Amino acid sequence: MREQLVSLERMNSLIEKAAKEAGYSEGFGIKGCDLTRSHWWAAYARQSCEEQANNNRLPEYLLTCAREAKKLGIVVPIEYILYDTVTGEHLERPGMIRLRKLLAGRDIAGVIFPALDRLSREPLHQQIFEMEATHYTVQIQYADVPNGNDPNSQFTRTILAHAAKLVKIANRKNNRGGNIGRVVSGSVPAGKPSYGYTYRAEYQGLEHGKRKLVRAWWEVNELDIDGTSKAGSEAWVVEQVFRWIGQEGRSTFWVANELNRLDIKPRYAEKWSPALIGFICKNRAYTGKHAYNKACYITNPEIRLTDITAEIKRTIRRPKPEDDWAHFEVPALVSEELWRQANQNIHERGKGRGKAGKSIPALFRARVFCPKCGNILRLHRDSRCSWLTYYVCRTQGCGMGFTRVSRLDQLGWDEVARILESSALVDAKLKGIEKNDDGIQKRVRLELFHKREAEKKISRIQDDFLSDEPVITRSEAARKIGELRVVIEKGDAEIARLQSIAQVAKQSQETVAAARKALEKLRDINLKTATLQQKAELVAQIGVKIYPSEDFTYIRICFGLNITEPRKVTCHKTSIASPKL
């Protein structure tokens, strides 16, 4: 990271100047040290982003470290002066990773930080690092906070670490508020523009080297003399993408391959992919209407945490309410109609899961399981004969054969209809409901009986011990009473568990009644004249799952029987983070 953003020559020059300014050239940034010895110290500095690497804070951080080294009278080899340009939200930084390895190997005696927030802006990470240093007997020297390991010093550092975190949150809030203010005043927000545009700004010079923003805008990436997009430019690519997809009906896969064939590179990624093409088509900025503060990125709760100090990437894009959006205008590259047509074509093609966007009619879609690997069989349309569709297993290395959709659907539906037309399925379900409720009540009564019997035995033991002529010793009475009380406690816990189950069942009587009504209603359905859509709804209603044999000569059918009334289902809309162009 240091070699990419700050050259080795510039870094060495800054270290030399900092040591000279501090008057400690003999102890800071020393070359030729024997690194096999462990009495050396390290110095660490950090800045949050690449842009900050170009300001003047790094020389000041190095000067502070050199002064601290002089005050302590220690030696810092040039190889142990570490620098990162990564956010302080985590410790997964190249320089910090190397520093923690030096700690774990006990290769250094201590480490200098020019400021507490240069270590981390997360209090938990700061405490973990200090705990590691204490465990490996490595000393930490901060230039701006107390350095002792006494409770008062540790508490002070914790409070200041929380303050640094609040400063980070305030900076983000102020940055967002400033960009919204820009939009309100008629400019565009600061930051990277969409693919196909270039950010421009005009400033007014003020006194003492300061300047004031006059206006900021986006302009088309590259234009020819006649005002059209230059062939091969980003703007030209955007126009071609919408023309290929919106007018010619091409797929995102075809467009990505065509751009790669033309050797046109995306802005950040190595090559084009269907996801990149789809992201361009969803961007409404190309119609001339854009908005700031539309969404935020959050962490994915499905990802398991392994190292709490590592970076937790924000990969889920969560839209914000439209009231929070700040709208602004940019030069249009495509018309609103073409934008809508391109997105409609992508939607129709993706919806079908088949060739040319045509959906594959299948009664048991996502309900047929591979007899070899157990995964769901997918739908496949023959590329040469579009009327031929199959259930196939796409699991790598499975080797399972395939079968015609029409054949398996007919075989499965005949069996489902035969079962539903008989009363066996309905009677079995109703009997199961009643049997389950009755079984819980019996177990509750049995536990209550055992509890009463244990209480009676405790009472008899106490009477025997307190009688005029005791027939049991104190220790034996205490032991038996203790055993019986354990039985009572276990019984109480089991009764509470069963009663909670019974309470849930009682609360769901309306659901049970609805299920009973729905099951009885199945007898009245005319299964022979049902349409494919009606059959599919019925299959979903009773939770059918198909388990065919390896040669597809016979099938086993399971019924989940999740009977519910038809209803609309809503959920929070989230999407994966946008890919890099």
Long-range residue pairs from 208-216, CB within 8 A, at least 24 positions apart, any chain: 213/182, 213/187, 215/186, 215/187, 216/182, 216/187, 216/188, 216/189, 216/190
Average pLDDT taken over every residue of the chain: 83
**Predicted local distance difference test score (pLDDT) of residue 397:** 83
Estimate to the nearest angstrom the gap between the alpha carbon of 80 and the chain centroid: 35
pLDDT surpasses 60 at 437: no
| 212 touches 203 (CB < 8 A) | yes
Element (H, E) at 292: strand 289-292
- 81 confidence band (pLDDT: 50, 70, 90): very high
Q: Sort 68 into a burial class: Cβ within 10 Å, 0-12 / 13-18 / 19+.
A: buried
CA 140, 141, 142 angle in degrees (round to 5)? 120
pLDDT at 77: 95
Task: Work out the pLDDT band at 574, boundaries 50, 70, 90.
Answer: very low
Residue 469 DSSP symbol: S
Taking alpha carbons only, the member of 164, 99, 156, 165 closest to residue 133 is: 99
pLDDT of the residue at 360: 80
What phi-psi label fits residue 70: left (phi over 0), alpha (psi between -120 and 50 degrees) or beta? alpha
Please report how many Cα atoms fall inside a 13 Å half-sphere around the Cα of residue 410, on the Cβ side.
Answer: 6
Task: Say what the pLDDT of residue 520 is.
Answer: 58
Q: 439-473: buried (b, 16+ CB within 10 Å) or exposed (e) per residue?
A: eeeeebeebeeebeebeeebeebeeebeeeeeebe
Q: Mind listing the pLDDT tens digit for each residue in 36-70? A: 999 999 999 999 875 565 677 899 999 999 999 99
Q: What is the mean pLDDT of residues 275-292?
A: 93
Lowest-pLDDT range of 39-48, 96-105, 511-520: 511-520
In whole angstroms, what is the distance from residue 494 CA to residue 440 CA?
Answer: 11
- Residue 522 contacts residue 535 (beta carbons within 8 Å): no
Q: Is the pLDDT of residue 353 over 70?
A: no
Banded pLDDT at 568 (limits 50, 70, 90): very low
Please provide residue 544's backbone torsions phi and psi, each rounded to the nearest 5 degrees: -75, 135
Domain coordinates of the chain in residue numbers?
2-170, 426-523
Contact 369, 414 (CB under 8 A): no
Q: Give me the residues paired with residue 341 across strands.
A: none
What is the four-CA torsion angle of 544, 550, 555, 557, rounded to 10 degrees? -30
d(CA 235, CA 230): 8
pLDDT confidence of residue 369: 92
Contact between 426 and 520 under an 8 Å Cβ cutoff? The reply is yes
The H helix count followed by the E strand count for the chain is: 16, 18
Question: What is the distance between the alpha carbons of residues 190 and 192, in angstroms, rounded to a whole number?
Answer: 7
Asked whether 308 and 124 are in contact (CB, 8 A), the reply is yes
Report phi then psi at 229, rounded to 5.
-65, 135
Spell out the residues 6+ positions from residue 412 whose beta carbon is closer than 8 angstroms to its own.
363, 364, 544, 546, 555, 557
Cβ atoms of residues 410 and 561 within 8 Å: no
- Of 61, 71, 165, 75, nearest in space to 113 by CA: 61
Share of the chain above pLDDT 90, in %: 44
The band of 578, judged by pLDDT with boundaries at 50, 70 and 90, is very low
Alpha helices of 283-423 — where are they, by DSSP H? 336-352, 405-421
Q: Is the pLDDT of residue 355 over 90?
A: no
Query: Which DSSP letter does residue 226 get?
Result: T
- pLDDT at position 468: 64
Using CA atoms, how far apart are residues 408 and 368, in angstroms rounded to an integer? 9
Confidence of residue 300 (pLDDT cuts 50, 70, 90): confident
Q: Phi and psi for 416 in degrees, rounded to 5?
A: -65, -45
DSSP 209: G
CATH code: domain 2-170 is 3.40.50.1390
Residue 556 has what DSSP assignment?
Answer: E
For 396-433, how does the pLDDT look when each residue is reduced to its tens digit (9 = 90+)? 888 888 889 888 888 888 888 887 776 555 566 555 55
- Say how many C-beta atoms besides its own lie within 10 A of residue 431's C-beta: 10
Tell me the residue type at 117.
Answer: D
CA 9 vs. chain centroid, Å, equals 40
User: Which pLDDT belongs to residue 352?
Assistant: 44
Q: Check: CB of residue 108 under 8 Å from CB of residue 38.
A: yes
Q: List, for residues 9-35, the tens digit of each pLDDT value.
A: 989 999 999 999 999 999 999 999 999
pLDDT at 284: 93
Of 50, 133, 119, 120, nearest to 85 (Cα)? 50
pLDDT tens digit string along 445-489? 888 888 888 888 888 887 776 766 666 777 787 888 888 888 888
| Other CB atoms within 10 A of residue 260 CB | 15
Strand order in the sheet with 314-319: 295-299, 314-319, 575-576
Give the containing element (helix H, strand E) for 448. helix 424-466
Please report the pLDDT score of residue 417 as a whole number: 81
Output the pLDDT for position 525: 58
> 166-224 pLDDT, tens per residue?
999 998 899 999 999 999 999 999 989 999 999 999 999 888 888 899 999 999 988 88
Provide the 8-state DSSP code for 230.
P
Which pLDDT score, from 0 to 100, does residue 439 have? 67
Provide the pLDDT confidence category of residue 385 given band limits of 50, 70 and 90.
Answer: confident
**Residue percentage of the chain with pLDDT more than 70:** 83
pLDDT confidence of residue 457: 85
Poorest-pLDDT segment among 201-215, 240-254, 508-522, 550-564 = 508-522
pLDDT above 50 (res 563): no
DSSP helix, strand, coil percent of the chain (3-state; round to 5): 50, 15, 35
What pLDDT is stored for residue 332 in this prediction? 94
pLDDT band at residue 573, thresholds of 50, 70 and 90?
very low
